[in-house]
Structure 1
Amino acid sequence: MMLNLFDQFMSPTLLGVPLVLLALSLPWILYPQPCKRWLNSRTLTMQNWFITNFIKQIFMPLNLEGHKWAMLLTSLLLFLITLNLLGLLPYTFTPTTQLSLNMALATPIWLATVILGMRKQPTLSLGHLLPEGTPTLLIPILIIIETISLFIRPLALGVRLTANLTAGHLLIQLIALGTYFLLPLMPAVALLTSMLLFLLTLLEVAVAMIQAYVFTLLLSLYLQENV
């Protein structure tokens, strides 16, 4: 039995080996590889349809320079969606509830977009730190505020994904425990909480997919500012 509700977010180990490594490698095993046959299977067709529509929607506003990031951001989206959804299964662990992992995913890509902007168009990239028409007295303050907001972006990405998934998992855990203890005492109330738990699980599935999409979309917006 769990001693703490937050024990479910601790990285499990087996013989001293962290199982988070297995969880991170599992998504790449689940997806089928493209084949050389003329006709694809239904799974491959659906996978290709999803990837094609995602690329069209995300990279439509970007110029050709930003289209080079299509494979990276699409892989990141599939990776996050798979991790988030697998974490909803019983007796599983969700690596994306760890802030360290989310920061490790967000920081390098954000930093790459900033470095790309400084190399390709330094004047325009630095111009984002000061809006046009700013009064002279507010220039130092706005530069400091915009610089802080620029460097806080990867932290906001990581905290947003971690907080949303952690809150949903905690709520599911609390309602499941309440249903378990109410079942022998008040079966009618336990039935209602079971229905609520089912609806909350469906909501959490939607949140898992939406948060992965938002994570990737924000990175594409940061890329759009620098290409």
Structure 2
Amino acid sequence: MNLSFFDQFASPTILGVPLIILSLALPTLLLFPQTKLWMGSRTQSLQLWFSHSFIKQLMLPLNKPGHKWALALMSLMLMLMFINLLGLLPYTFTPTTQLSMNLGLAVPLWLSTVLMGMRNQPTNSLGHMLPEGTPTLLIPTLIVIETISLFIRPLALGVRLTANLTAGHLLIQLISTAVFVLLPMMPTVAIITAMVLFLLTLLEIAVAMIQAYVFVLLLSLYLQENV
């Protein structure tokens, strides 16, 4: 019985073909294409306002070389947000609950920021390994600690996104199961539990958007150290 709760994290298949590719492609259909008209619709205006506000806030601490990442970070944020939100619908699959996908996003992006820093300004990039004014005896220890923390960053990015979404989905699954079990025996308790489930769903909608923003924000902080 307990194993069935984790079936929602297995990629569904049709005729042996996994649907994760369709899950990754579906969010692009939710974006409205730009038209050549002078005046767009209200939805397009809202989309442009959100894009400009997000990019402006994200690029504010970065210098000009870091602004080249604006389109990539914006696209990543929209993709993660739409995938997380679509995963809350019934009978759907959330690819971002898979650690392999999240690490597949985190490791290359983190590595590209590190390599760019090593190529453009190696002195400043390596300077983060040793804070200024460190006692001589602590220098080897701090270098080892900072090196470990540097390589843990992509793992922390992937695990944070996976853990938050997995925990929320499991909690929703457990409470919804409790509602169906309690409904014939204790209808009043089942209704109260359903109200808790509704509030939890609202919380998970907020978590889905916040986790996408946090993922991209941490990447921009890593980029800030290397540009």
**1:55-134 to 2 correspondences below 5 Å:** 55-134=55-134
Q: CA deviation at 1:2?
A: 8.6
Give 1:219 shift: 0.1
Correspondence 1:166 to 2:166: yes
- Distance in 1, matches of 2:192 and 2:158, equals 35
* 1:15 shift after superposition: 1.1
Aligned AA for 1:101? M
Q: What is aligned with 1:186?
A: 186
Residue identity opposite 2:73 in structure 1: L
- 1:43-62 mapped onto 2 (5 Å cutoff): 43-62=43-62
Q: How does 1:136-155 map to 2 (within 5 A)?
A: 136-155=136-155
Q: What SS does structure 1 have at the residue aligned with 2:39? A: coil
Tell me the amino acid that sits aligned with residue 158 of structure 2. Answer: G
Once residues 41 and 2 of structure 2 are traced to their aligned partners in structure 1, the CA distance between those partners, rounded to angstroms, is: 43
**CA distance in 1: counterparts of 2:50 and 2:164, whole angstroms:** 24
One-letter identity of the residue aligned with 2:211: Q
After the TM superposition, list the runs of 4 or more consecutive aligned residues in structure 1 that deviate by more than 3 angstroms: none
Q: Deviations over 1:94-120 (max 9, x none)?
A: 000000000111111111100110011
2-structure distance, mates of 1:30, 1:58: 23
More moved, 7-16 vs 189-198: 7-16
RMSD between superposed Cα atoms in Å: 1.1
What amino acid sits opposite 2:217 in the alignment? L
Residues 142-183 of structure 1: CA distance to partner in whole angstroms, max 9, x if unpaired? Answer: 101100100110000000000000000000000000010000
For residue 223 of structure 2, what is the aligned residue in structure 1? Answer: 223
Q: Distance in 1 between matches of 2:145 and 2:3?
A: 43
- Cα distance in 2, alignment partners of residues 140 and 18 from structure 1: 48
In structure 2, the partner of 1:22 is 22
Taking the aligned partners of 2:167 and 2:74, their CA distance within structure 1 comes to 26
Which consecutive unaligned segments of at least 5 residues does structure 1 have? none
Deviation at 1:48, TM superposition (A): 0.6
Q: Structure 1 pair 184/112, CA: closer, same or farther in 2 (3 Å)?
A: same
Matched residue, 1:199: 199
Q: CA deviation at 1:3?
A: 5.0
Any idea what the Cα deviations from partners look like across 1:169-202, whole Å, max 9, x if unmatched? 0000000000100000000100100000000000
Partner of 1:41: 41
What amino acid sits opposite 1:129 in the alignment?
Answer: M
Task: Tell me the SS of whatever aligns to 2:85.
Answer: helix
- TM (norm. structure 1) is 0.98
Provide, for residues 42-82 of structure 1, a one-character-per-residue CA deviation record: whole Å limited to 9, x for no partner. 11111111000001111011111111100000000000000
Calculate percent identity across the aligned residue pairs: 71
